[in-house]
Chains A and B, each alone.
Chain A
Amino acid sequence: MTRLLTDRPPAVAEAGKASPRRPRWSGRTRRDFFVFLALALPNLALIAVFTYLPLINNIYYSTLDWTLGSASATVVGLGNYITFFTSPDAANVLGTTAVFTLVTVGGSMALGLLVALALNSKVRGTTFARSAVFAPYVLSGVGVGLVWLFIFDPGYGVLAWLLRGIGQQSPQWINDPQLSLVMVILVYVWKNLGYCAVVFLAGLQSLPQDVMEAAALDGANGFRRFVNMSLPLLSPTTFFLLITTMLSSLQAFDLIRIMTPLGNGTSTLIYEAYLQAFGAFNRAGYSAAISVVLFAILLIITVLQLRFVERKVHYS
């Protein structure tokens, strides 16, 4: 608004001097401005109330020693952050978060690209295959978690039944913390690779065919064309997927909550924040501090990706 009133181009400013009684805003400009306010303010208000206010509240709560449900709390400043970063849990939680994020993002994107390449071929049944691959992505995480939990159950799960058929015992997928993490990662990748596949497929289908055909005529084989032409030309798609899958992976909750309610071995930052506040501990202030750490990590990753990774992206 300040810019509108004062930072006018010199010509406009001079004109203003020549006729001082002339209205500074024309009727149309004012009308446009009010239309802008009418359209933007409700959304800005919603964002302020439901995004920024909780964020600020959360930062404030992170400075309190507050038991959820208690009407009183003690101000501890950075005490919750110090407790988190000096506890053995921090290394476990950050390690689990890193492993979960890297493997799920890498797995979803790599497998998604392979599936997209398969779906991009001109064979019968690709329409059905595309729907089948994408379907898990739109399914409820709770439903998916429950079904896979039954499949993995070492007692009477489908996997245990198959393993018994070849004389093997089922691993303790649910009770063993390390296997629990493997189990949740497998299901997460299965659920999300369809999203990557469909986005990669759209990217593959928008590649310039004349350039690809020219390369083929010059003798480049399929692998060379894929590595030296398709992959670089897909970089905007890859960049987009890298950001979106990493952000969603860092915020993954439903599968972890359903498949491993205690978070034993699967406690990522977001799930640890949930467990600390709404699980058995009720440490709301400590949980808020973990949430702020997660927020800072997400912010840093996003800024780094925008500043450095985007430079290597070919948009044309």
Chain B
Amino acid sequence: MAINLHRRHFLGLAGASAGAAALAACGGPSTAGTPAATGAAEIDFSGVKPAASFDFWTNHPGKSQDVEQSVIDKFHAKFPDIKVNLVTAGANYEEIAQKFQTSQAAKSALPGLVVLSDVWWFRYFTNGNIIPLDGLIKQLDIKVDDFQKSLVADYQYAGKQWALPYGRSTPLFYYNKDHFKAAGLPDRAPKTWQEFGDWAPKLKASSGAQYAYIYPALAGYAGWTLQNNLWGWGGSWSDGWTVTCDSAESVAALQWAQDSIYKDKWAGVSSKEAADDFAAGITSTTISSTGSLLGVLKSAKFNVGVGYLPGGPKAESGVCPTGGAGLGIPSGVSKEVQLAAATFLKFMTEPENTAAFSAATGYMPTRMSADMGAVLAKTPQIKTAMDQLAVTRVQDNARVFLPGADQEMAKAAAAILTQQGDVKATMAGLKTTLEGIYTKDVKPKLKS
């Protein structure tokens, strides 16, 4: 095992190492300085001809592969010179983001159009990965005024439009009508969590289900649905860029949630997918995305009721966040591809196509003029989601704009809801983490 390192060998190794280091420095990112993300220039598409084909990366939100393909087929009939390649780029928003970010790093194989979720688009914006759509909206005459205003506003930053809404959802309160009837409860969702707290013991006693209510799986966007609890108690993850998850109101909201599991013993936490647990009869109620609605209606062997999210002691309305995904156009592809993708984006979000997408998935129609008559006749529960849109609230910055914040919120929720951790201390720790993320990963990129 003895190694005799002679001077000549050492010099050779040193030379090889220096060469390798120089070679390594040739690849990867530029180290000339980190540019701020707020100054994206308008792109001029005049005189540009759409590309003959481009890739559309999607995770088929709400099991939408068939309806996506049927819209693409209609597009091909209307625009035979542009071919859209439907690419399954992941099983969920995180996997599609992983593939997109990796392609950005590799500087190759980028799509023309990509599905981006509420927590990812801002990161693409700060990294300069997507283009503002304003020029394309004007050139292609996309009727932005006809989109649901709150959904379009979700993708506006620095005075520009960075994406358009696609598979958009809100959480819904799902309840087992049969269990409610057996418990002698009214056939509606509770108005507040306090009201449900009164109902829950009766519900659990009479239903035979494991839980009266199950909290959504912590790995499945816990930070999204828990905003309902926080807002109802007058708390929040953040107020603007100020992290407020450790405020007295936020702590009280999560303390109540913890008590429902450990003290009152009528609630549990889903391990994988709360909608599946609900459909399987494990719980009498839950909160899940509107995108789960059709799946629940199909698989549940009982009468399913849906309603608005319950309020709390401080707020009975305006306690429902929007969510879901939009469509964006990468900056790393040619103008021709960007124009072709925008042409398809316009077609995909036409009123009749958004209605078809909504009918197939349960996601909300993104256009106000979409004719939902046939859809609502078949699935009247979608109306609840549509009506609830009027009382939704824009999500907290900390959840949607801080990289990794959703994961940190899920870990904190796990400590509180599955390990009975001290709520105040856990939230104080979360605040420190979130502030660190803001200071390190976001603030420097927001400087103009």
Binds B, one of A29-37, A39-47, A100-108, A174-182: A174-182
- Asked if residues A69 and B124 are in contact (CB atoms below 8 Å), the reply is yes
Tell me the nearest residue of chain A to B415, going by C-beta. Answer: A177
Contact B403 A282, beta carbon cutoff 8 Å:
yes
Interface string of B392-421 (1 = CB under 8 A from A): 000000000001111100110010011100
* Alpha-carbon separation in the docked complex, A174 to B417 (Å): 13
Query: How far apart are B86's CB and chain A's nearest CB, in angstroms?
Result: 23
| Cβ-defined partner of A73 (8 Å) among B28, B94, B407, B419 | B28
| A261 interface residue per 8 A CB criterion | yes
In the assembled complex, the CB of A50 is this many whole angstroms from the nearest CB of chain B, namely 14
Q: Which of B228-236, B266-274, B287-295, B345-353 lies at the interface with chain A?
A: B266-274
Interface size of A by CB at 8 A reads: 43
Against B, the Cβ 8 Å flags (1 = close, 0 = not) of A272-287 are 0001001111111000
| Any A CB within 8 A of the CB of B100 | yes
- A72-B33, A155-B280 given; A264·B406 CB < 8 A: no
B19-71 interface (Cβ within 8 A of A)? 20-21, 23-25, 27-35
A226 in the interface (beta carbon within 8 A): no
Mask for B258-283, Cβ within 8 A of A = 1, else 0?
A: 00000000000111100001001010
Question: Quick one: given A278-B98, A278-B102, are A66 and B28 in contact (CB under 8 Å)?
Answer: yes
Distance A64 CA – B282 CA, assembled complex (angstroms): 48
- Tell me which of A68, A177, A282 contacts B419 (CB under 8 A): A177
Q: How far is A275 from B94 in the complex, measured between Cα atoms in Å?
A: 11
Contacts of A175 in B (CB 8 A): 217-218, 269, 271, 414, 417-418
Partner of A70, one of B23, B27, B127, B218: B127
A262 close to B98 (CB less than 8 A): no
In the complex, the answer to whether A67 meets B272 with C-beta atoms within 8 Å is: no
B105 proximity list for chain A (CB < 8 A): 68-69, 284
Q: How many interface residues does chain B have, given as a range?
A: 35 or more
Interface hit among A52-60, A190-198, A234-242: A52-60
CB of B120 to closest CB in A, whole Å: 9
* CB nearest neighbor in B for A75: B31
Contact A56:B21 (CB < 8 A) given known A70-B29, A72-B29, A155-B271: yes
0/1 interface trace, chain A 150-182, chain B, CB 8 Å (1 if under): 000111100000000000000011111110000
16 contacts between A and B (CB under 8 A): A53-B24, A69-B127, A70-B104, A70-B128, A71-B104, A154-B271, A155-B277, A173-B271, A174-B272, A175-B418, A176-B419, A280-B403, A280-B404, A281-B403, A281-B407, A282-B123
